[in-house]
Amino acid sequence: MDQLIKPTKSFHCTLTVPGDKSISHRAVMLASLAEGTTEVTGFLPGEDCLSTISCFQAMGIQIQQSGDHVTVIGKGLHGLTAPAAALNCGNSGTTTRLLSGILSGQPFSSTICGDDSLQSRPMNRIALPLRQMGAQIEGQEKNGVLYAPFTITGGHLSPITYALPVASAQVKSCVLLAGLYTSGETTVIEPEPTRDHTERLLTYLGASLHREGNAITVSGKTPLTAKPISVPGDISSAAYFLCAAAICQDSSVTVQNVGVNPTRTGLLTALKQMGLSVTLAHERTVCGEPVADITCSYTPNLRPITLQGAIIPTLIDELPVLAVVACFAKGDTIIAGAQELKVKESNRIRTVVEELTKLGAHLEETEDGMIIHGGYPLHGALVKSHMDHRIAMSLAVAALAAQSPVTIAQSQCVDISFPGFFQQLSQFIR
Ligand code: S3P
């Protein structure tokens, strides 16, 4: 589907965005493994999270979903039953990797598959620690890299201490979830802190878990107890509105009820470094997660910045839209140490550079990121999403501040993480 976006006038608005994708996945997974009934509110009814629901339904868990409300009748750590067919994770890397940790502890074999994008993403990063723990994982390997579909035969797992070779919350979570099925302590050491929603939700539901520096340890065999889960708005979705206000003259936006977990707020730090006013109000903690209302206002004097090191995992999904903002800063913004962008839903280093170049931006691909030569006005063009939801929404933000209309092809992929994105955009920003 093609989506036309016209340049906008200045806007001032207050809105909410759908629930956090990472927390929604974990809510359904952990509620399925908990004992008792969990009511989840604020759930993201995006395609990725619906894939998670259907995988657990296929393993005998009763789950009812209506909009952002989900009821899960958990059956405890050992209540899953063998699925009759392959578990289809669709486009969702989070479903695939976290689910694999859980499947490794089950006394049955199951196969994981997904769409073309998912089946081209590396899975050896989870197979390596899970095999060390005792799971059997078989699938097609090309040049030593495992891809879905693959089959996991779970069983008797042993605890391990695992140092992550790449900073990945999905791999960390996968190993911690497998650790629930061992009778000892499983430790994951991360090179840099990554999103810690799994740790927070496990703790909230009664698991025994502690963190020392960059090492997180979970004790196996502790039961999880059902408790109501309220999911905050997704900062990765709020990012599109905050960044639109950052580059559209005399504009400002407040996004209410957004998760502001410090492992996710690198975007806010980066926007402040660029000279923007970013403020938090009504700060509170909900189900173990920090939540606030975020306001961001336009500045005509955006500064270029360098992003590298520990901040990268805290804004990894926001880098495409930050690249758009950097087009409006006079000078060179450098993004380095972000090679993980190459193995997301698309190769986001390449797709960002390719598509923003069509709009008149000056930027170049590097081995581990990109350099954005800011200060060149953007103009209309036909661009495409590469079926990557974050690319589609980032291009929409660029279009709002371009000098003529932009058409985004394959725009329907926004439904992966933000159903109703274009409707909300046209409602608040014209
Ligand atoms: C996620 C972790 C990140 C992120 C993804 C969601 C999660 O991936 O990019 O959108 O929910 O754990 P990596 O763990 O591969 O960095």
Question: Is the bond leading into 223 cis (omega within 30 degrees of zero)?
Answer: no
- Mean of the per-residue pLDDT values of the chain: 98
Any ligand 1 atom below 6 A from CB of 333? no
Mutate to test the pocket of ligand 1, among 20, 22, 237, 289 (most ligand atoms within 8 A of CB): 22
Convert the pLDDT of each residue in 140-166 to its tens digit: 899 999 999 999 999 899 999 999 999
Which are the catalytic amino acids?
Answer: 317
Average pLDDT over residues 214-229: 97
193-196 LR contacts (CB < 8 Å, sep 24+): 193/167, 193/263, 193/310, 193/313, 193/314, 194/167, 194/168, 194/169, 194/263, 194/313, 194/314, 195/22, 195/169, 195/261, 195/263, 195/264, 195/313, 195/314, 196/169, 196/261, 196/263
Q: What is the mean pLDDT of residues 364-386?
A: 98
Give the SS3 label for residue 371: strand
Find, among 258, 236, 287, 286, the residue nearest to 94 by Cα.
236
pLDDT value of residue 429: 84
CB of 201 closer than 6 angstroms to any ligand 1 atom: no
Number of H helices, E strands in the chain: 12, 24
The mean per-residue pLDDT over the stretch 131-136 comes to: 98
Token pair 């900062």 in the structure block, residue: 235
- State how far the Cα of 213 lies from the Cα of 225, in Å rounded to an integer: 27
pLDDT tens readout for residues 290-345: 999 999 999 999 999 999 999 999 999 999 999 999 999 999 999 999 999 999 99
CA of 165 to the centre of ligand 1 (A): 15
Nearest 5°: phi and psi at 322? -65, -35
Report how far residue 32's alpha carbon sits from residue 28's, in angstroms, rounded to the nearest whole number: 6
Query: How far is 126 from 174, CA to CA, in rounded Å?
Result: 7
**For residue 12, what is the DSSP state?**
E
- Closest ligand 1 atom to Cα of 25: 11
Q: Is the dihedral of CA 23, 206, 82, 138 positive or negative?
A: positive
What DSSP string runs through 253-290?
A: EEEEEEE--TTTTHHHHHHHHTT-EEEEEEEEEETTEE
Query: Backbone dihedral region of 250: left (phi > 0), alpha (psi from -120 to 50 degrees) or beta?
Result: left
pLDDT tens digits, 161-220: 999 999 999 999 999 999 999 999 999 999 999 999 999 999 999 999 999 999 999 999
Distance between CA atoms of residues 333 and 266, nearest Å: 15
Listed residue (363, 331, 328, 330) closest to 348, CA to CA = 363
pLDDT of 430: 80
Q: Does the Cβ of 170 fall within 6 Å of ligand 1?
A: yes
Pocket test for ligand 1, best of 44, 52, 170 (most atoms within 8 A of CB): 170
Q: Report pLDDT for 223.
A: 97
**Digit-coded pLDDT (tens) for 247-288:** 999 999 999 999 999 999 999 999 999 999 999 999 999 999
Q: Mapping DSSP to helix (H, G, I), strand (E, B) and coil, where does residue 327 land?
A: coil
Is pLDDT at 242 greater than 90 in this prediction? yes
Question: Parallel, antiparallel, or unpaired for β 224-225 and 34-41?
Answer: parallel
* Ligand 1: centre distance to CA 89 (Å): 15
Widest Cα–Cα separation across the chain: 61
The sign of the dihedral angle between the CA atoms of 96, 97, 98, 100 is positive
Q: Which pTM value belongs to this model?
A: 0.98
pLDDT, average across residues 49-54: 98
The beta strands (E) that lie in 178-269 are given as 185-189, 209-212, 215-219, 224-225, 229-230, 252-259
Q: What residues pair up with 255 in beta bridges, in sequence order?
A: 15, 294
**Contact yes or no for 424/396 (Cβ under 8 A):** no
Protein residue with least CA distance to atom 16, ligand 1? 168
Closest atom of ligand 1 to CA, residue 344: 9
What span, in angstroms and rounded, lies between the C-alpha atoms of 72 and 34?
A: 9
